[in-house]
Structure formats: C-alpha cells, structure tokens
C-alpha cells in the first residue's frame, strides 16, 4: 500500500518542528509506521546542500542559485528517502517542502511563484504532498519564540529583514488560495497544546482514511 506524504509549512518560529516531533513519537507509540524528515536536508547530500544555503557567511548568494540549490536538495531527498518510504506504506511527515520555495524564493525574493514552481517540477516530477498543514503566525511572534530558544542556530534566511518575512507569510496566503484542496491552515499563535491537538486530529483523520 502507498503511504501518505504530509508536509508542514510556515514562517520562522511557527512551531512546526516542535509539533511534528511530538506527533511522530505519539503516532509511533500507536504502531503507525512514520518517517520524520526535513528540508533542506534529511539525507547526507541534502544536509550538505543545506549547510551551503543556510551558512550566514554566504552573503553573496544569488536568488536563482538559492532556488536551484533548494530544488537540488529536494530532488535527492525525494529519490533517496521519501519515495522509498512511501512505497513501503510509511506516513512521511516532512518539515517544509515545495511551498517553502514558492513562498520564500518565488514570492518573497521576487523570482515569481510560477517560475519557481516550474524549476521544482523538474525536481519533483509529479510528486506533490497529499496534504500540507500550514502553520500561520505573525513574523514578530515567530521571531520572539526563536529568540527564546537559545539552542537554535541562526541561519542566512533568518537574517533577512522583517519585510521579507511578512512577504513570506503573504506568499503562503497566496498559495492557500491556489491550492485550497491540499493546504489546511492551523493558527500557530495559539498555545502549544491547542496547536498540537488540532494537528493530531487532522493527521489521524488522514491516516484513518488511508486504512479504510
Ligand atoms: N504554540 C507555541 N507557543 C509558544 N512557543 C512555542 C509554540 N510552538 C513552538 N514554540 C517554541 O517556539 C520555538 C520555535 O519552535 P520551532 O523550532 O518548532 O519552530 P519552527 O516552525 O520549526 O521554526 P523554523 O522553521 O524557523 O525552524 C521553540 O522554542 C518552541 O519551543
Ligand atoms: C525548504 C526551503 C526552506 N527555505 C528556508 C526556510 C528557513 O528559513 C530555512 C530552513 O530552516 P528551518 O529551520 O529548517 O526551517 O530555509 C526556503 O527558503 N526555501 C525552501 O525551499
């Protein structure tokens, strides 16, 4: 049986990573076969590309180079990790995917959502997520949360100004209108427990449908 490909998106500090780590662990306890992974990264080659893209010292990186590197990391991660897991019937929970490229590089960087979608089509062929949970948050609140998390490394994208991060959020809102069937919004400004409960309910329903 084919698994389910669920992606988690949102601006910086929305809480995606925290929530999906707990979700993966709780689903595993219920006996669900789960793969928790992330973009850019998830496998050795893509983690190396991540390091290049997110290194705060790489201040000269061209926007198209950035978009192509994300797409390259995505391609390798899909082929090496995501597709084999889906073919084994695994529930794949992925921290960011193509919508990050559309919101960050396509909209906020100004390369164009359609243009960035088109280079990503080369990378992903036809493999889009079954569902995408979008964690919506005001950038200021996201950064306030990040500021409280001392262990988190500061990456090159974090260093963009607040206007850029507002554009990222606006970009996601455009994507919600473009992909209403696939994308669901979660109000990530709420308390962690509430955000978690809502996320878990949605994911359990999706898994339930798969096993009908
Ligand atoms: N609902 C919440 N309320 C308050 N704090 C939260 C909430 N969710 C997560 N946090 C805290 O906010 C910080 C950022 O969370 P997390 O790293 O999960 O966000 P993220 O969406 O993965 O961010 P990024 O994409 O920028 O890495 C963490 O310190 C986490 O404990
Ligand atoms: C996949 C992807 C990511 N980004 C940006 C978004 C974040 O600023 C970083 C990833 O860091 P995180 O702590 O793991 O969230 O990269 C992007 O701009 N485009 C993409 O396709």
Q: Where are the alpha helices (DSSP H) in 106-191?
A: 113-124, 139-148, 162-178
Output the six-digit token pair for 98.
């193509």
Instruction: Give the tens place of pLDDT for each residue, 94-152.
Output: 999 999 999 999 999 999 999 999 999 999 999 999 999 999 999 999 999 998 777 77
How far is the centre of ligand 1, averaged over its atoms, from the C-alpha of 182 (Å)?
23
Ligand 2 neighbours, Cβ below 6 Å, are: 12, 38-40, 70, 96, 100-101, 104-105, 155, 157
Using a 6 Å cutoff on CB, does residue 139 contact ligand 1?
A: no
Residue 34 is encoded by which pair of tokens? 């789960």
Other beta carbons within 10 Å of 180: 9
ipTM above threshold 0.85: yes
């Amino acid at each position: 049986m084919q698994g389910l490909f669920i992606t988690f998106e949102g601006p910086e500090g929305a809480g995606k990573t925290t929530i999906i780590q707990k979700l993966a662990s709780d689903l595993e306890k219920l006996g669900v076969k789960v793969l928790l992974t992330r973009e850019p990264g998830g496998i050795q080659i893509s983690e190396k590309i991540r390091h290049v893209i997110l290194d705060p010292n790489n201040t000269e990186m061209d926007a198209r180079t950035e978009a192509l590197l994300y797409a390259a990391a995505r391609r390798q991660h899909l082929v090496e990790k995501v597709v084999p897991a889906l073919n084994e019937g695994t529930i794949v929970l992925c921290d960011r995917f193509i919508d990050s490229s559309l919101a960050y590089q396509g909209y906020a960087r100004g390369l164009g959502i359609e243009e960035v979608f088109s280079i990503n089509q080369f990378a992903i062929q036809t493999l889009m997520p079954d569902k995408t949970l979008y964690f919506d948050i005001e950038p200021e609140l996201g950064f306030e949360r990040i500021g409280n998390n001392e262990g988190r490394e500061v990456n090159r994208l974090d260093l963009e100004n607040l206007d850029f991060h507002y554009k990222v959020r606006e970009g996601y809102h455009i994507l919600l209108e473009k992909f209403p069937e696939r994308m669901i919004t979660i109000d990530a400004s709420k308390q962690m427990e509430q955000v978690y409960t809502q996320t878990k309910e949605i994911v359990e329903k999706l898994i339930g449908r798969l096993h009908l």
